[in-house]
Structure formats: structure tokens, C-alpha cells
């Protein structure tokens, strides 16, 4: 958030979400301009209270997921992330482990794959996954880094206009926009917005603001 150090703003939320966890399985597949080893080290440096190991460092990725105390997925390019999960045939194991209770933390691209599909990511499709269908931990679409800002002189579509285009073609599929520093916390049948800033829900032709700590279980 802002000019803070990498993951600094998220640390309290991460620590609260991962009590009694000492080891984290990191999935670095969204990293394209950074090596997966360097990406893993960057996350390790940001989370010194945990031991961070990357899934690409294990001889058996499925077994790594099955044995993980918690799973982290970082940001980068969402299309490359999802493509790697498909190419390595990890989606079913991934979904099963989290649905059975393995704690999950994802940011940016790692948030995008939690929704029904990645069709509302902000990323450029630099690679074509077999499908845009994602993990569906929540039955709606996500748009992290949501902003209302439009640079002076910029005549392209705003973020809201692009999401509204999706909603015109998919009127029954909500899209939740999460601003910088915010997060969605899913625990059982509870879904709330964390952080200090509001979020936005797009659905059909409507758009409404959601507040921090608001009960959002109607979208589950």
C-alpha cells in the first residue's frame, strides 16, 4: 500500500490469518520478469517469521500442496500463473486442499485466481491458458488494485467502464473491486472486507460501495 515496503501493510492480516503456522508454500508462477528463486527470496525477506519454500523447489508439486501448512500465491501476470497451474495439472489438488481447510493467502494475481475466472484481471494476456476458469474459492469475479483514478489526458476506458462491459455480457456474475491495502477474508460462511478503504461491487447494471468489515456473505 502506497510507499510502504513489500507486504508491510498486509503483515498484520497475514499473521492473524495464519496462527500457529511456521512454514509457507509459495507459488511464484505469476513471476515473469523475475526468476522464481528470486521471487521466493523476496517473499521470504518480507515474511521473516515464517519459513517460505517455493513449490518449484519440490520434486513433487502435488505432494507439496498436500503437505502444506499454508499456501501463498503472489502477484505478477495472472495469465502466466493460471497457465502454469493448468500445465502442471495442479488445479484439482490445489482446490481440494484449500477447500479442506489449508489456509490460503493471495495478492494481486493470487487474488484473481480465487474467483470464478480470471476474466476481470487487469493483466495483459501474454500467454493463453487452456481455460480462464480459476479456483472458484468464491463464486464471483475479483478485481484487485481497483481504482477510480483517471490520469489527466487519458481517453481510454476507466476501470469501472471495463468492468461494466463484463457485467453487460455476464449480468448475473458479481465483480468485487478491492482497492490497494484491502483484502477479502473468507472463513467458512463468513466473507468480509478488511482494510481501511471501501470496495465496489458491480452486478448487472448496478454499482455499489461496500465498507470495511461489512458482511458480504450474500455473495457466497
Distance CA 212, CA 195 (A): 6
What SS3 class is residue 77? coil
Phi, psi of 90 (to 5 degrees): -100, -10
Q: Which three cell numbers stand for residue 172?
A: 448475473
DSSP H helices in the chain: 11-17, 36-46, 61-67, 78-87, 91-99, 109-112, 159-169
Residue 209, phi then psi, degrees to nearest 5: -85, 140
Show which residues are catalytic: 108, 123, 145
d(CA 212, CA 62): 36
Strand partners, 201: 176, 208
Residues forming a β-bridge with 143: 177
Please list the residues that pair with 117 across neighbouring strands. Answer: 133
- Measured in whole angstroms, how far is the alpha carbon of residue 4 from the centre of its chain? 19
Strand order in the sheet with 23-27: 51-54, 23-27, 71-73, 104-106
Amino acid at each position: 500500500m502506497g510507499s510502504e515496503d513489500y507486504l508491510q501493510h498486509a503483515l498484520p492480516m497475514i499473521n492473524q490469518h495464519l496462527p500457529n503456522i511456521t512454514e509457507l508454500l509459495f507459488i511464484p508462477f505469476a513471476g515473469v520478469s523475475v526468476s522464481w528463486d528470486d521471487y521466493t527470496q523476496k517473499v521470504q525477506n518480507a515474511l521473516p517469521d515464517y519459513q517460505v519454500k517455493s513449490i518449484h523447489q519440490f520434486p513433487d508439486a502435488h505432494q507439496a500442496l498436500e503437505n502444506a501448512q499454508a499456501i501463498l500465491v503472489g502477484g505478477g501476470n495472472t495469465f502466466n500463473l493460471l497457465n502454469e497451474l493448468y500445465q502442471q495439472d495442479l488445479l484439482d489438488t490445489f482446490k481440494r486442499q484449500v477447500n479442506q481447510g489449508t489456509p490460503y493467502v493471495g495478492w494481486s494475481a493470487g487474488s484473481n485466481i480465487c474467483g470464478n475466472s480470471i476474466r476481470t484481471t487487469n493483466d495483459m494476456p501474454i500467454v493463453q491458458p487452456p481455460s480462464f476458469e480459476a479456483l472458484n474459492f468464491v463464486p464471483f469475479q475479483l478485481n484487485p488494485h481497483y481504482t477510480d483514478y483517471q490520469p489527466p489526458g487519458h481517453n481510454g476506458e476507466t476501470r469501472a467502464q471495463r468492468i461494466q462491459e463484463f457485467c453487460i455480457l455476464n449480468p448475473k456474475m458479481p465483480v468485487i473491486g478491492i482497492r490497494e491495502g484491502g483484502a477479502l477474508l473468507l472463513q467458512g460462511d463468513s466473507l468480509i472486507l478488511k482494510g481501511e478503504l471501501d470496495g465496489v461491487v458491480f452486478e448487472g447494471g448496478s454499482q455499489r460501495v461496500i465498507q470495511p468489515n461489512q458482511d458480504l456473505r450474500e455473495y457466497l
